[in-house]
Structure 1
Amino acid sequence: MAQAEAEVLYDRHGSWGVATLNRGKALNALNLFMVKSLREQYLAWAKDPAIKAILIRANIEKAFCAGGDVKTAVQLPTEEAISFFRHEYMLNGVLGSLPKPHVALMDGIIMGGGAGISVHGRFRVATERTLFAMPECAIGLFPDVGASYFLPRLPGELGAFLALTGTRLKGADVVASGLATHLVPSAKMPELRDKLFSLGDRVGNAAAIEATISALQEPAQPSQAGPLSRTQAEAISSTFCFNTVEQIYAALERRGDAWSKETLKLMKGGSPLSQKLSLREVREGAHQTLAQCLVSQFRLVTHVLRRDSDFKRGVRALLIDKSGPAQWQPPSLEEVTPELVDAYFEALPAGEELQLDDVSEKSSGSPTSRL
């Protein structure tokens, strides 16, 4: 566990349990050691009566967490890669059912797996430096870590838009979307930590934590040039409201303005299969619990890893070899048949399905998100 102890640091401040992501050279990208360690520590803190609340932060200003370490994942033997995603999703499930207040200081880059260790918690504090994205379609995967739960619960069709385009949200837009709960200037982060750690016997009181963060927050005014602006929000709602990717493409082509052309350009660079998997999981996730979403996503990622997949092609072409656009298979939306998509959603053998911890006080068996 020495590696995990170096890459995630744990401390106590009074009744606070504090986790610090400490893999700065990799922008705190999560590996197997880190997700295992975080899950074990969160389970211990959930059961420890001396710990009343949990805070997670990063050791660098540039990034909270740039996602999962996908470059390592695609080079692992298949079953080891599957083990990484299993433990990552189990960690997401623990956070989703955590009965104690959880504060994530989302300063800097937060992508993919970084969302999974923050968005499912109660308090999600962004800064002007926060940069959020779910860019998985560009590397042949799909928005995972419970994204099929939180994306469809964003305003309008913003979730489908973010899933299919990988568009980045900054600072105030992250808060305005609901992905973060508060916007606090990065310069006030040390003060915020000090005040939270000084709550004394009110540490476990969510209202006291809320008041402490709110006292330092700034108004979250959406960017007039971003997807939360009135014009873009209306465009997104009218073009991403369909249940097939082909219909979304057609709606963008009919619209034909500069925004639509740029959006089409973003989408055409992604994996056709990933886009169809992503849209389906977002639509289904709107009617599922977080636990159900995580189980479904584990099925998806297991099938992806056991096949000759776009995920391996995408990561190698774009992140490892940097050889240019990936050669997606199938290469077109038309060739991604409903039968092929169905195969990725098939249940796993009983002994291989994802089993989640439930640390909630009522132990209902289904983690609940605070989004």
Structure 2
Amino acid sequence: MPQNDVVLTRKGRLGKILLNRPKALNALTHGMSLSIEAALREWADDGGVEAVVIRQAGDRAFCAGGDVRQFPEKGAAFMHQYWRDEYRLNALIRRYPKPYIAFVDGIVMGGGVGVSVHGSHRIVTEHVAFAMPETAIGLVPDVGASYVLPRMPGEIGLFLGLTGTRLGTADAMAVGFGTHHLLRADLDHVEEELANATDGIDAVLDRYRQAAAPAPILARRSEIDRHFGQPTLRDLVRSLAEDTSDFATATGAALATRSPTALALTFRLMREGRRKSFEDCVRMEWNIVSRMDEHSDFAEGIRALIVEKDNKPRWNPSRLDVVDEATVARYFEPAAGPPLDLN
């Protein structure tokens, strides 16, 4: 890993993590996960570090997700180790003993959600674009998403997990991804005050906090709940097909582009995540992703959307009504090999 993919520094009373791959939208490499984990463990025991800030280089993205482009060529062993180490980092952030403050300014997806949403403070700017778009590449929302999404209002989390819909600032705040809305222009000033001020973190953030705005997604909640509250995925798709509204038509069209197998896995994952602990949700995700090398849709999704970018994935199977329920169930069985270590 190039030394500057992630820059780890001390600044006053802060430990600072800078995601530094702006040309790659700060996509998270395996080496970056390991470096961030090592720094967090060191700072947890350092009395001079009172809080951690993670932010980005560049204006376009906080972190657009895991760097999955090379997964197919690097093979199953690499993919499995990547996910093991990433999930351990996510768990560390969730239980971190000091304030962990993410400055999320721009695109945040997948692995970027994993290194932000589990922290104590999630600052979103007017440029934030939050999404979990994994079904578009034949994967499932992971990095703890099966715990986070089902705890959003109503069926919004399932809607987001299946469709990959992007949320702006007001929506990101309304669903609980963001804890504070600040302006991009204020972030450097906020960092300086957090590093050097004697008052508390919340007092600093409150000085710059912007007023809440109406959230468009909440205006759609009744429609979302009606369709995405159906007992099965096929009932959900049928409900959308029978509704001639613009929302239902657009949502049905979005689902039609996703991997049918990934949709089936995600539906069950989100339903089961409602009643599980964070750790059990991550282990459930691990059971699924550890089998992704066996499922052609993931490699095909990477090819079509990330590598060749023809946006014409050839899903197998190509229709939801022929997805085998026994195959879906097998993904939820305990993974082979050593148990997932989240400590």
TM-score surpassing 0.5?
yes
> Per chain length, whose mean CA-contact separation is higher, i.e. which structure has more relative contact order (CA < 8 Å, sep 6+)?
1
CA shift for structure 1 position 4:
5.3
Q: Secondary structure at the match of 1:298?
A: helix
Per-residue CA deviations over 1:188-233 (Å, capped at 9, x if unaligned) read: 1111111111234x5xxxxx2112112111122134xx323x2x11
Structure 1 segment 253-292 matched on structure 2, within 5 A:
253-292=241-280
Q: CA separation in 2, counterparts of 1:173 and 1:50?
A: 36
Partner residue, 1:356: 342
Please tell me whether the aligned partners of residues 112 and 134 of structure 1 are also in contact (alpha carbons under 8 angstroms). Answer: yes
Please tell me whether the aligned partners of residues 13 and 196 of structure 2 are also in contact (alpha carbons under 8 angstroms). Answer: no
* 2:205 maps to 1:217: no
Find the partner of 1:227 among 189, 193, 217: 217
Please tell me whether the aligned partners of residues 92 and 145 of structure 1 are also in contact (alpha carbons under 8 angstroms). Answer: yes
* 2:323 maps to 1:325: no
The residue type equivalent to 2:268 in the other structure is R
Q: CA separation in 1, counterparts of 2:255 and 2:25?
A: 26
Q: CA separation in 1, counterparts of 2:91 and 2:155?
A: 25
C-alpha RMSD of the superposition: 1.3
* 2:293 maps to 1:295: no
Please tell me whether the aligned partners of residues 181 and 210 of structure 2 are also in contact (alpha carbons under 8 angstroms). Answer: yes
* 2:333 maps to 1:343: no
Structure 1 segment 1-371 matched on structure 2, within 5 A:
3=1, 5-200=3-198, 208-223=200-215, 226-228=216-218, 230=219, 232-305=220-293, 307-349=294-336, 351-357=337-343
Partner residue, 1:367: none
| Deviating 4+ runs (over 3 angstroms) | none
Alignment gaps of 5+ in structure 2: none
Q: CA separation in 2, counterparts of 1:266 and 1:77?
A: 30
Q: CA separation in 2, counterparts of 1:127 and 1:324?
A: 30
Alignment gaps of 5+ in structure 1: 203-207, 358-371
Q: CA separation in 2, counterparts of 1:8 and 1:161?
A: 33
The residue type equivalent to 1:330 in the other structure is P
Aligned residues: 343
Partner residue, 1:369: none
Please tell me whether the aligned partners of residues 13 and 194 of structure 2 are also in contact (alpha carbons under 8 angstroms). Answer: no
Please tell me whether the aligned partners of residues 4 and 34 of structure 1 are also in contact (alpha carbons under 8 angstroms). Answer: no
The residue type equivalent to 2:212 in the other structure is A
Q: CA separation in 1, counterparts of 2:41 and 2:71?
A: 25
Q: Secondary structure at the match of 1:49?
A: coil
